[in-house]
Chains A and B, each alone.
Chain A
Amino acid sequence: MSSSGAAAAQHLPRKEARELAGHEGAVLAVRFNRDGNYCLSCGKDRTLRLWNPHTGALVKTYKSHAREVRDVHSSSDNAKLVSCGADRQIFYWDVSTGRVIRKFRGHNSEVNSVKFNEYNAVVVSAGYDRTVRAFDCRSQSSDPIQTIDTFQDSVMSVILTKTEIIAGSVDGTVRTFDIRMGRETVDNLGHPVNCISLSNDSNCLLANCLDSTVRLLDKTTGELLQEYKGHACKVTSISYHPTKACMLTSSVDGSVRVWN
């Protein structure tokens, strides 16, 4: 641990500031919006909730899913939300009115993760049906514009960069689909990948695997840079700090860990 790291660690939140209660049932995902002023949570009770974490107030509840909501992502302009759930649907919401603008159909099974792209024009989702599908927000259609089905098993998470789609799957691979190069790069880690995250400089890829290790990979070479074994049980979620060089992982054992 470098000194800067230690210093950074000091500024990290240590204690629980607030509890946002409201969900009836398990909360499956919590996400900050782009600027960090709001957070969205989705849960097994089929609702999405928009909170102001600093005041602890519930801003809005979005109810439309037929089954549990597995992931949510807000657009960079905070005007739109996209959420996905076990009902195989992806809902495209208008934030202020709380109405569903569109339902994206295409997945054959539960959708695990969903993301907006940089320009909020494309919604990319990853599902249990081993596919990653891209939907177009600008047109009127609710069918995918592209389907990637080279995965061998359920795709658990997807992240987007300016030019790439990166997805991690239970088949042990992290696949990078470079749109600019027209190439799919398969990094086989050997262990089911539950969640992936990108580092700030977009050079490193974090993948947490179901063998309780978090692996740091170099994105360009695919080399394994680091392995983090700390969690006793499966790591469920992972997130990288937007500005500082540390990451958060959550696990089934009930703990959230901060790593440098």
Chain B
Amino acid sequence: MGADSDEDDFVAYGTPIEREEDTSARKRRAIAEAGQLRALPAWKQEVRDEEGRRRFHGAFTGGFSAGFYNTVGSKEGVKLLMKMGWRQGRSIKDSHADSLYESRRNARKAFLALSGIKNDEDQDKIDSDKPSLDQSVTGSSEEMHASGSIPAYVLHPKQDLHGLGYDPFKHAPEFRDRKRFVKSRDRDHNRNDISARGNLLISNWHYAPGFGIGALEELDVEDEDIYASGFAYELTEVDIEPSKTSDGNYKLDDRKRGIFLSFKIASNSEYKLERYSRNALPLVMPGVGPQSLDTEAVSLGLPITGGVRAYGAPHKLSANVVFCRFPPPDVPADFDGRHKFATPTQPAEKFSDLAPPEVPPPEDSTVRLLIEGCAAMVARGGKHIEDFYKEKSKTNPQFHFLSGGDGCSYYTRKLWENQFRYTGQPRPDAVKSKPSSDKLTAENRGKILGERPLDRSTKPHISLSAKEAVQLQSNLIDTFVKPISLDALPESEKPFSNDPAKQARFEQFLKDKYQGGLRTATATPVSTMSEADRARERLDFEAAAEAIEKGKEKVIKPSSMLSLPGMNEQRFVSATQLESSIVPHDEKPIYPRREPFEWRPAPILCKRFDIVDPFMGKGTKDEEESSSRSMHHGSGAGLMEAEAHGMTNDTDIEPSSVQRPVDLYKSGSANGKELEERSKGQTADSPSSEEELILGEQRTAVDGEFTT
């Protein structure tokens, strides 16, 4: 047992552990992370069973509970385990070939277990079925390990119409056995009631998303679906092959799951199915036997998950739903689809010739006000308002004017006036219109509603002058404009009232600037004003227009609706006055006309033209500060030019504005002259240098440029 003997005695066996230094960093990390799952991507973390089917559908947030349909740990789960394969001490994992069938079988068993069917008969049946199947399976698996002897298609012959590889229940294994349930049920009706009841619960609660109870819970009072209809539902076989159903009167919206809610209509010989519409109401018809259900089934195919057949009374399978169609009601022969008003509407010709004489108002001012108000309302509203008032005021002595008392003539006069104003002049072609509402022209309707019709251009109180074309034009212009507009400026807002010509030009300027529509054929005097004057005037106009706009905003708001109609009238009247003042009686030709507008040249354009940007430093519309760029051209050149041309009128406006921004950039030097001189010296070179450039180019370019 000495040190030496230890070394001699020990023998190495097995693979040695890798030493830290030998492994690279990457390997080490790989080893360390080998068992960790936290870096797995989401798609790797899916739980799949042995066949690769996903378990735990939906938004699984954790809390795995294992087992078939959450049966782990429960009594049923243990039972299942015992039944499925632990009985034989073997693992649940079966041979591959029959595993599909096995799992289906197992699922079916699970349903039965969960449904709580205590029917021993059934259990026995199932059990009796199962052992035989089990034996066949186990037998087969004992004989052959890898593949089953009996192919699946023999055990379960294909009876559906979809393709060979198509598995309709690929994503919905819950429904797989149901189909078989239905099939087996239909084949023999013995188990009708039981399976129905079993499926009742299942269909109600376990396959609608979001519903259901846990594995460890049992159905209780509080789990009842209180909103379920009184009908008991049953699985039906309206499946992926809709052509199976005989009648064509159905609608299949959702083919995904393949099982629909269908209402079967009893095929009673007394009722013809073709006449049934979808809106027909279901009737419960007790006493009709279940046999008739299956013949001539018509399903309406309302897609609700879970296949159901509606029944009349709960748990009464013998009840059937019958659709009945009610005929439309009988219309009386004299029915006319129009409402008859109590009082007839005002016929048009009522006041056509009736112009009550002008009567002085009664002395009492209150009565007068009453009369006027009443007349206005009645004129607007109609005769029934008058009747209404009459009724109301039988006792009130002030309202005697309504029924022939004092002031009655004044009242009638006022009424007529109001009506006249509202409905325009009496029309000569006023056809006798029926009091009933059968023949309602637009005008009558407008009258009834108390509308004011549009003013016609041929108003009698506006004389038709020779310039009516112009007026028409002005009306057209005016109709393009919003009611309270700059069209007719109120007296207070005529900035150039002392100079009517200028004011006229101002109005024209405003029109051109703000309004659409036709342009009147007015000519600005062409040669009376010089360029500069016109430009200055234009600037004045713009300033005035801005001032008016600001003022207008305040004016518009307080104007009440009541005064609006009045204002409209006033507007029309004043517009014509305006037009008459503007319409020229000059003999000058209308063309050519000159109009100045503001135009902003781009700074770089000015630079290329070697011109001072007239808008330099004013903040262009594009918010480009061009001052820096045109500066070195700017002050020197501009001043030079100004001096060269003299301070003429033309450049009157601009150089002054040019100089101002220059001042801004003086950078503290109080001596403007200094700056000018400096920049003059600077920029005096630039134009000349440019000229030199050009000359140089020309000199080099002239010869030999055009040789072939």
Contact = CB atoms under 8 A, between A and B. Distances in A.
B452 interface: no
B705 A78 contact: yes
B595 interface: yes
Contacts of A222: 526, 592-594
Among B601, B604, B610, B706, the most chain A Cβ lie within 10 Å of the Cβ of: B601
A75 to B, nearest CB: 9
B602 interface: yes
Nearest to A79: B701
Contacts of B594: 185-188, 221-222
Interface stretch (A85-93, A115-123, A195-203, A232-240): A115-123
B598 A122 contact: no
B706 A148 contact: no
Given A77-B701, A180-B614, A185 B605 contact: no
Nearest to B654: A181
B597 A78 contact: no
Given A145-B602, A222-B526, A223-B526, A136 B597 contact: no
Contact of B705 (A52, A79, A117, A180): A79
A32 interface: no
Given A50-B706, A122-B609, A145-B605, A182 B595 contact: no
B599 A119 contact: no
Nearest to B618: A182
Contact of A223 (B527, B608, B615): B527
Contacts of A136: 604, 608
Contacts of B596: 183-186
A117 B609 contact: yes
A138 B598 contact: no
Nearest to A121: B608
A30 interface: no
Interface string A165-192: 0000000000001111111111111110
A215 B591 CA distance: 11
A146 interface: yes
B525 to A, nearest CB: 11
Among B535, B604, B612, the most chain A Cβ lie within 10 Å of the Cβ of: B604
Contacts of A66: none
A134 interface: yes
Among A120, A121, A162, the most chain B Cβ lie within 10 Å of the Cβ of: A121
Interface stretch (B78-86, B194-202, B690-698): B690-698
Contacts of B608: 117, 119, 121-122, 136, 138, 145
Size band of the interface chain B makes with A: 35 or more
Contacts of A117: 608-609
B533 to A, nearest CB: 12
A229 to B, nearest CB: 15
A58 to B, nearest CB: 9
Interface string A98-137: 0000000000000000000111111000000000001010
Contacts of A182: 598-601, 614-615, 654
Contacts of A223: 526-527, 592
Contacts of A118: 609
Size band of the interface chain A makes with B: 35 or more
Contacts of B593: 186-188, 222
B640 interface: no
A117 B609 CA distance: 8
B698 A179 contact: no
A152 interface: no
A183 B592 contact: no
Contacts of A119: 608-610, 690, 694
B592 A190 contact: yes
A221 B526 CA distance: 7
A177 B601 contact: yes
A30 B330 CA distance: 90
B591 A146 contact: no
Contacts of A95: 705-706
Interface in B271-307: none
Contacts of A62: none
A184 B609 contact: no
Contacts of A187: 592-594
A217 interface: yes
A210 B595 CA distance: 22
Contacts of B707: 96
B614 A188 contact: no
A244 B705 CA distance: 28
B694 A38 contact: no
A221 B527 contact: yes
A138 B595 CA distance: 34
B649 to A, nearest CB: 12
A191 B599 CA distance: 24
Interface of A: 37-38, 50, 52, 59-60, 76-79, 95-96, 117-122, 134, 136, 138, 145-146, 148, 150, 162-163, 177-191, 215, 217, 220-224
Given A79-B705, A184-B596, 4 more contacts: A122-B605, A183-B598, A184-B599, A191-B591
Interface of B: 526-527, 531, 535, 589-602, 604-606, 608-612, 614-615, 650, 654, 690, 694, 697-698, 701-702, 705-708
27 contacts: A52-B706, A59-B706, A60-B706, A78-B701, A78-B705, A79-B705, A119-B608, A122-B609, A145-B605, A177-B601, A179-B605, A180-B614, A180-B654, A181-B535, A182-B599, A182-B615, A182-B654, A185-B595, A185-B596, A186-B594, A186-B595, A186-B597, A187-B593, A188-B593, A221-B594, A224-B591, A224-B592
